[in-house]
Chains A and B, each alone.
Chain A
């Protein structure tokens, strides 16, 4: 099983600042099978980034994904109130599919 480890567990960021979230995999992942999701309280997860760096239509360009192999990053610039949420990484390269444990972005 590919274990995805997200860091940090909680990230405190001021509005307007930048958040950088990390996801490390226990083995190499084909980037085409890597995604990021946002989950706001009381809501279902929402796909933000697919194939590691492709932004879903309608997602602001403040969100960007990068990385390959075992190291992936989600960056959120100019944080807005709606951005404070929990973010999950996900791999579907190898079965079983796995999610990271999540990074909570909170207001500093």
Chain B
């Protein structure tokens, strides 16, 4: 059974870089049928798509975040990661990693990790 688990610091200082990792179990991250994505949800707000990656390293990012975001994949560890630079309080959110069918829906999600940006 597929499981996705986010990990990383729950508190990041303003202007620093947020770094999260999603560990995938129950499926290979080199699956040709799936993308691996990050979605976030600010407190009491809706879902915001951040971006996704294919196992080959091909990425797609949300335009408002593109200048600050990097998504990478480590096939040897079956993990993919999110880095978001120069964070502000507006980046405080619940961060989800998820598996997406190529050209389709997010069928599997991690439980989410709350990241607070504060000094």
Contacts and interface: CB of A to CB of B under 8 A. Distances in A.
Contact of A96 (B62, B100, B111): B62
B50 to A, nearest CB: 10
Interface residues of B, number: 22
Given A44-B112, A45-B47, A102-B46, A96 B63 contact: yes
Contacts of B46: 88, 99-102
B35 to A, nearest CB: 9
B27 interface: no
Contact of B107 (A33, A56, A100): A56
A29 interface: no
A interface, size bucket: 20 to 34
Interface of A: 1, 32-33, 35, 37, 39, 44-47, 50-51, 56, 88, 90, 92, 95-102
22 contacts: A1-B63, A32-B103, A32-B104, A33-B104, A35-B106, A37-B47, A44-B109, A44-B112, A45-B109, A47-B105, A47-B107, A50-B107, A51-B104, A90-B47, A90-B106, A95-B60, A96-B61, A97-B60, A98-B49, A99-B39, A99-B48, A102-B46
